Amino acid sequence: MSERRWTEQDVRKMLSNPIYTGMGPFPAAIEEDLWVSSNELRIIREGAAEALALIVDNFEEVFPHLPRPEVEQYVQDAEAFPESTLRRLLVDLRERCRGVTAAELDRVQGMVVLKQHQRRRER
């Protein structure tokens, strides 16, 4: 079995994914300060709207059954105060997935895959 090497894109995706800071049934895989710092840089380089949309998209990919935060409510603050805005966003996202179990996520992910399969068959 060959081990796949991490690419720059793999690392970028991980650092933009808030789940890796420890959310729901997932333990933290990276320190919150590192996650915040890397996303502060992303906001500076790519703009707040794009950076925050990517973060929320990553959250939604794992928790598609939970309400999606409105990115716009964070964008203006992130342009002036990126660190505190990112920390506030993490609190919001953690609150949304509080109490979600691994078993619940398995059911939700199974339903998502089934719906995707049904859509493909309808085409």
d(CA 4, CA 107): 28
Residue 46 CB neighbours (<10 A): 15
pLDDT of residue 108: 75
Tell me the pLDDT of the chain (123 aa) as tens digits.
568 888 888 888 889 999 999 998 999 999 999 999 999 999 999 999 999 999 999 999 999 889 999 999 999 999 999 999 999 999 999 999 999 888 888 887 776 555 555 666 776
pLDDT of residue 49: 96
Q: pTM of the full predicted structure? A: 0.83
pLDDT of residue 97: 92
pLDDT of residue 1: 53
pLDDT of residue 118: 62
d(CA 89, CA 7): 27
